[in-house]
Amino acid sequence: MIVPDSRDETIEQPIERQMTTSHATMADERDTGAQDLPPGVTPTGDAPPPDAQVDGATGSADRSAAVSMPEGAVPTSRAGNPVPGAEVAAMFDDIAPVYDRMNTLMTFGLDGRWRRAAVQATHLSAGDAVIDVACGTGKLAATLAERVGPFGRVLAVDLAPGMIAEATEQNRDLVQLEFRVADALALAVPDDAFDAATIAFGLRNLPDYEAGFRELARVVRPGGRVVCLELSVPRPRVWGRIYHGVFRRSAPLLGSMFGRRDAYSYLPQSLEGFPNPDELVRTMTGAGLVDVSYRRLALGAVALHRGTVLS
Ligand SMILES: C[S@@+](CC[C@H](N)C(=O)[O-])C[C@H]1O[C@@H](n2cnc3c(N)ncnc32)[C@H](O)[C@@H]1O
């Protein structure tokens, strides 16, 4: 459940963090992100990840180890989602028919605002080309298509064929919008092909977050933008704790209304151990992006990051 934030539409708010490659890079500079959190709460405010042990010095997840953390332990963030891609795709295939209705329920209909904020952060103009990765049912891709207009181009990709089928069905009228099944970590497109790249609520599903950003940066021309919209830990931390407790319980409950309890249990799990916004800045910078910054939406339950491909 995500709580409304009346400031969501104010795009040009002060930027909370800014970094360039000159002063924040690479995995060995990652901090744990856990230092200011209460016992039992991960950097995302949720329960410790049951299936990934993380090396705090490097931030790299040991995905081979299934470790159950003791109650009250504070794990560091992980470098990627430990759930295999095939399982992730199968799960999203399963929920594709109900995905939009669930989103509206879980976000009180605010997800549209956040996507518009993401589109604005791309700085795209009419006629530009953009790729939307992990596009789901194509809501962000459709908003991008409106932005670039009929002479622009939007390529939207997703690992789950069921999502691509839904997206195609829902967006037949947008000639500038093409949907394809593809893995975010291996986009079959040339370098520098797009003016911007976006990923919305998809990053936390990837097996390697930094590799995800590297691939987005690869396909964007120098000076173009990479924009990431993702769930995050709300502040202050007491609120984060409450939020994640509610999210962990309510997502499977809401999912069961649509006969998808198991799939919607994955949702809060995918957020466990996910880097906090500051760590994500470092991840993006480590992937070679510059002028990386973010702003929080929905009282911090959502973070909007943006970076620029080095000219
Ligand atoms: C929570 S949905 C977000 C969908 C959409 N971007 C939105 O804003 O509603 C996450 C999407 O990521 C996709 N996904 C997961 N792993 C992926 C990967 N490795 N490559 C491409 N898409 C992936 C899933 O299939 C799913 O459609």
For 39-86, write each residue's pLDDT tens digit.
Answer: 222 233 222 222 222 222 222 322 222 223 333 333 468 999 999 999
> What is the value of pTM for the model shown?
0.78
Q: Is 207 in the pocket of ligand 1 (CB under 6 A)?
A: no
Q: Determine if ligand 1 sits within 6 Å of the CB of residue 226.
A: no
Query: CB of 304 within 8 A of CB of 114?
Result: yes
Residue 261 lies in a domain: yes
- The Cα–Cα gap between 234 and 211 comes to 26
* Ligand 1 in reach of 44 Cβ (< 6 A): no
**What pLDDT score was predicted for residue 43?**
30
Q: Which of 76, 72, 8, 41 is nearest to 240 (CA)?
A: 41
Q: What is the Cα–Cα distance from 44 to 241, expressed in whole angstroms?
A: 9
State whether the beta carbon of 200 lies less than 6 angstroms from ligand 1: yes
* Cross-strand pairs, 197: 131, 226
CA atoms of 44 and 73, how far apart (whole Å): 14
Give me the pLDDT at residue 260, please.
78
Residue to mutate (ligand 1; options 87, 88, 265; most atoms within 8 A of CB): 88
Domain that holds residue 193: 85-277
C-beta 144 within 6 A of ligand 1 = no
Q: Ligand 1 centre and the CA of 159: distance in Å?
A: 7
Q: Residue 44: what pLDDT?
A: 30
Please list the residues that pair with 305 across neighbouring strands.
Answer: 228, 294
* Residues 155, 99 contacting (CB under 8 angstroms): no
Contact present, 155 and 132 (Cβ < 8 Å): yes
Cβ neighbours for 17, distance < 8 A, ≥ 6 positions apart: 277, 278, 281, 292, 293, 294
206/270 Cα distance (integer angstroms): 10
Tell whether 207 is covered by a domain: yes
pLDDT tier for residue 185 given thresholds of 50, 70 and 90: very high
pLDDT at site 164: 98
Q: What's the 202 CA to ligand 1 centre distance in angstroms?
A: 4
Please tell me the least confidently modeled range out of 102-111, 125-134, 163-172: 102-111
- Lowest mean pLDDT, pick from 94-108, 135-149, 236-250, 277-291: 236-250
How many separate domains does the chain show?
Answer: 1
CA nearest ligand 1 atom 8, residue:
200
pLDDT band at 137 (very low <50, low <70, confident <90, very high): very high
Q: Which atom of ligand 1 is nearest to the CA of 92?
A: 25
Residue 290 located in a structural domain: no
Confidence of residue 33 (pLDDT cuts 50, 70, 90): very low
Assess if residue 119 is contained within a domain: yes
Question: Cα of 204 to ligand 1 centre, how many Å?
Answer: 9
User: 2, 301 in Cβ contact below 8 A?
Assistant: yes
Q: Is residue 22 part of a domain?
A: no
Is residue 43 a part of any domain in this protein? no
In a domain, 75, yes or no: no
CATH code for the domain in which residue 250 is found: 3.40.50.150
184 within ligand 1 shell (Cβ under 6 A) = yes
Phi, psi of 274 (to 5 degrees): -70, 140
How close are the terminal C-alpha atoms of the chain, in Å?
A: 39
* Amino acid, single-letter form, for residue 147: R
SS3 assignment, position 84: coil
How many angstroms is it from 157 CA to the middle of ligand 1? 9
123-132, 166-175, 250-259: which has the minimum mean pLDDT?
Answer: 250-259
Q: Is residue 157 part of a domain?
A: yes
